[in-house]
A and B are shown apart, each in its own frame.
Chain A
Amino acid sequence: MTLTEGMDQVFVLLKHWLVGLAGPHWQPLLSDLISVAALIATFATLFAVTTLLERKGLGRMQNRFGPNRVGPCGVLQPLADGVKALIKEDIVPSGADKVMHFFAPLVLVVPVFLALAVIPVGRNMAALDLDSGVLFFFAVGAATELSVFMAGWSSRNKYSLLGAMRAVAQMISYEVPLILSAIAVIMIAGSLSTVEIVKAQAGYSGVIPHWYVLTPWGFAAFILFMIAAMAESNRAPFDLPEGESEIIAGYYTEYSGFKFALFFLGEYVGMFAVSGMAVTLFLGGWHAPFSFLTWVPSWLWFFAKLIALICVFIWVRGTLPRLRLDQLMNFAWKFMLPMALLDMLAAGLWHFIPAVSARWLVCSALVLGAYAMLARGLIQGRKVAKRTYQYAE
């Protein structure tokens, strides 16, 4: 085994060695436990790093420093935040439904970690290789809506309830384009297994990889998936459910201390999971972006792509203002949904047209035409004129 192969499989070999230490009866259990522990440890660490990256990055975008007091350049800030969350008093409103109030953060955190299990983070490194892995991912993701509702309803607070209503309406609306854009990939790859989808994107033409994002339908689906993913994880510009200028903090207004930290953790791990799914579906999973870079370990590529997508999330958050509720709904139902359906049609045509140039032409024309028509439909009937100020001229 060469050095590059060894580096590529270092975690797999380590796990095999550890499992080999146990008796044969305990090996399956131990193997699962190691996978679970590794997943939780990796993504919890990534959570800490991302909060710091986000606060620093947003700070730079808004012409300020961000956290710079704890440790050198503020790198120990996540630790301080964790200690603060742990020692804060946990307040439960007296009118609250105590059982549901207690379970809401757990119903968020457990499914998002479960969703991570089907994502292949490297060659031979999927914790759970299911026959219908993509479906499993979306199925456990659906539980987050329930958690938001439980939190908002059980708090017995009108702002919580308003936030939960907004969140549920938004998440249900955007779940449709999220899944439909993934279906285009499933149609072409011919499998619901995440490992198979990554395998279908292997190979290079020259130095260019065979990723789905580099096809017209795949590019459109990727953009739709990312927009829907932002809405699903309730992040700016889709953060109406926690719009602090209107409804305090939305569905987690009445949460404090560690339960609030759990919501925060759930939101970020959900973002990792959905970004990891975007990497798996569109960006070739753990495959290297160029054929001459295949010597770099596969897990490194996966996490590089994941962090790149997270930076996009942070960048968008620092750039765009919050949407209004009617704009949000119009965008989901009048643009995203028909666009995703037409994109599925384009993927189907891509599969059945044999000639390479013809299918590029047809699919590009379809996707661009659909985009132009739907965008025009979206802004139609809206006065796009220069704003006139009454007193500020």
Chain B
Amino acid sequence: MQDILFYIFAYLALQFGFLVVANPFSRNPVTSAMFLVLTIASLAGLFVLLHAFFLAAVQVLVYAGAVMVLFLFVIMLLDLRAEERERLRTFEVVAGLISAGAILFIFLATLVHSPPGIQQSPTAEGGTIALGRLLFSHYLLPFEIVSVLLLVAMVGVVLLSKKNLK
């Protein structure tokens, strides 16, 4: 049962992810964004299968909810046709390849270092509490750095949206 569900969710995540970037039926950015929502929902399903309920809920709450709606907002307010015509620039391709390669490297490094075989999956009970304790003890510095990053983004937005910059 678990395995079947895993393959279903994994297939859906890959399929929808493909449709986000290369949809043969429509070049509309809003359609891509809606497929991104479905991709995120499938990923949340995968998290549930790993007993990471907290992560699944946060994934849906933050990404499928607030962040996606803001994406759609921005897409709606921009001129869509200009976006469709734009060609890929070399710089963007290189930057994209570098970031994709970096993420792939992190994944591979983690996979190589993790011991093979089936491990006891963590139980649902206390998952949230354990995660909170880890975030505020062992991973305190990265956690705080990420929050400073968010603060910087927020200050930047406030600064940019001011009408008269002095």
Contacts and interface: CB of A to CB of B under 8 A. Distances in A.
Given A142-B64, A145-B65, A145-B66, A135 B72 contact: no
Given A142-B64, A142-B66, A146-B68, A132 B53 contact: yes
A139 B37 CA distance: 13
Contacts of A219: none
Contact of A172 (B37, B53, B70, B125): B70
B127 interface: yes
B38 to A, nearest CB: 11
Contacts of A136: 53, 57
Contact of A139 (B34, B61, B126, B128): B61
A175 interface: yes
Given A131-B126, A135-B54, A150-B34, 16 more contacts: A131-B128, A132-B53, A132-B57, A132-B128, A135-B58, A135-B61, A135-B128, A139-B57, A139-B58, A141-B65, A142-B66, A149-B72, A153-B72, A153-B76, A165-B76, A192-B128
B69 A131 contact: no
B153 to A, nearest CB: 16
A100 B64 CA distance: 16
Contacts of A131: 53-54, 124-128
A132 B54 contact: yes
A135 B47 CA distance: 15
B139 interface: no
A136 B124 CA distance: 14
B60 A168 contact: no
Interface in B56-86: 57-58, 60-61, 64-66, 68-70, 72-73, 76
Contact of A143 (B30, B64, B125): B64
Nearest to B126: A131
6 contacts: A135-B54, A139-B57, A143-B65, A146-B69, A161-B76, A168-B69
Given A139-B60, A139-B61, A192-B128, A172 B69 contact: yes
Chain B interface category by residue count: 20 to 34
A66 to B, nearest CB: 36
A165 B73 contact: yes
A197 to B, nearest CB: 13
B61 A146 contact: no
Interface residues of A, number: 24
Given A131-B124, A131-B125, A149 B57 contact: no
Contacts of B124: 131
Nearest to A169: B73
Contacts of B72: 149, 153, 168
A300 interface: no
Contact of B34 (A100, A142, A165, A175): A100
Contacts of B125: 131
Contacts of A141: 65
A311 B17 CA distance: 45
Interface in B12-38: 30, 34, 37
Among all A-B residue pairs, the 6 with the closest Cβ atoms: A142-B65, A139-B61, A139-B57, A135-B57, A139-B60, A145-B69
Nearest to B127: A131
A142 B76 contact: no
Interface in A321-347: none
Contact of B65 (A100, A130, A146): A146
A11 interface: no
Contacts of A145: 65-66, 69
A102 interface: no
Nearest to A138: B61
Contacts of B76: 153, 161, 165
A145 B65 CA distance: 7
Contact of B66 (A132, A172, A192): A172
A140 B65 CA distance: 8
B61 A153 contact: no
B147 to A, nearest CB: 15
A139 B58 CA distance: 7
Contacts of A146: 37, 64-65, 68-69
Interface string A145-171: 110011001000000010001001000
Interface string B33-47: 010010000000000
B152 to A, nearest CB: 19
Given A131-B126, A132-B54, A172-B66, A142 B60 contact: yes
Interface string A162-200: 000100100010010000000000000000100000000
A150 to B, nearest CB: 8
A135 B54 CA distance: 8
A142 B40 CA distance: 13
A131 B125 CA distance: 6
A192 B125 CA distance: 11
B64 A153 contact: no
Contacts of B126: 131
